[in-house]
Amino acid sequence: RWGLGLVPRGAHGTASASGHSVCTRSPPITRWPYICQCPPRGPRPSHPISVDSIAQEEPAIKKGPCDEVASSPCGGRAGRGEAAEEELGRAVQREEDRERFPASGALGKGCTCEMDRSMGNVTTYPTQNGTASAVCNGNRRINVYIWDMDETLILLKSLLDGTYGGSFRGSKDVQKGKEIGKLWETHILEVCDKYFFYQQIENYNEPFLAAVSDYDDGRDLSDYDFFNDGLCDPYDDANKRKLAYRHRIIGQKYAQGLRDVLDEGMIKLWNDLYNLTDSYTDGWLSSARTTLDQILHGRICIADQAGLDNATNFAVPKCENINFLVTSGSLIPSLVKCLLFRFDGLISHENVYSSWEVGKLQCFRWIKERFKGAKVQFCAIGDGIEECRAAEVMQWPFVKVDFCPSGTHRFPGLTKTMLQYYMEVIYGESNAEDGDDI
């Protein structure tokens, strides 16, 4: 399977009727990476392990001196990451206009990237996002939090390759983490294929579900035969319409939630695997979910700082918080991961973007266009250099997540309060003045 994440960008794509970039078939990748990247096409991985077998194993923990330097990318306790930061600083081109980004500290500890004029091989498109524009009250300020998925909201790649367990220098069972990652890999693929048409449409990745909505004629799909409608090359208008039908159903299932989609056995496996993973990662998943919930559902303005709507005479808060997801994985597995890791009630499917084809900078620009004319503040959160560069181009604060035990920004630990601090560095202290409850 090779449709689960990253491929070289800019080599393929056509324009839809609305001017959006739509990808054609992507070239196969010759190596097997992880669920968040692109394994080669072929049989599903088969792992002779189960949630129960992992949970019952005694962890094989090696005790070592506390000053031992681990053989992981996190390095030792002293001077962790200094060499990597210096190398990154030399690699990224400096720009004379870096001064226009007022506070480099807002990039977060461990991110020392400068402005990159070329943005690597990111391909940009001068078209507007076709998703619905945000509904904005003229006097309401909106805080937009743009999250990365892998190694930020969830841990998966670092479980599969052992770097997460290895960063604890012997206090975690690395093999147990790898087996947990393999179970997620299998489970995600199974849900993608069985319920979200992934085997049919993995060659037709789009940056967001509404990218081909112009081709959807609104047909009643209750009796539609998705398995015999002939979706295939060439990627012409007729086949784009068939893809749009599938995207419509995927959006409906996402809004519905997995508990109304999966059978009882799959739900039990899902719950057991989630709890096992959350325990192994010291509450990373549940803590990330709590932070998203605080952002979305927390009391955002106190009553005496809310205005009155002239039509209804009800108090209207002066600010609103919204979560977005921009991930380098392909779209359908990313939506499924949102569901499986229980973020669906906190990030709507309209706010999930795949940067696989277009790059994160383009996704950031699309998101900004949705709030044109509104009083908006943005904050990007992730673990990678691409989102760091893109945030700096947009002049947004960026918070770098680091899964190492001594990392400054990680789960548990990263909160809405910390994110607001970085927003205030860039935008000033208007958040506190407007009455956010943090």
Residues catalogued as catalytic = 148, 150
Nearest Cα to Cα of residue 367 among 350, 386, 342, 382: 350
Is 278 a known ligand-binding residue?
Answer: no
The span from the CA of 41 to the CA of 29, in Å, is 8
Q: Is the peptide bond before 412 cis (omega within 30 degrees of 0)?
A: yes
Distances (CA, A) of 314 to 299, 303, 307, 309, 318: 16, 11, 8, 6, 13
Residue 139, helix vs strand vs coil:
coil
Containing 46, the helix (H) or strand (E) segment is none
Q: 370 φ, ψ to 5°? A: -65, -20
User: Is 148 marked as a binding-site residue?
Assistant: yes
Please report which residue ranges of 97-228 form alpha helices under DSSP H: 157-160, 163-166, 174-195, 198-201
Q: Token pair of 1, please? A: 């399977």
Report residue 403 as tokens: 């899964």
For residue 383, say whether it is annotated as part of any ligand binding site.
Answer: yes
165/161 Cα distance (integer angstroms): 9
Residues contributing to the annotated binding site: 148, 150, 383
Residues contributing to the annotated binding site for Mg(2+): 148, 150, 383
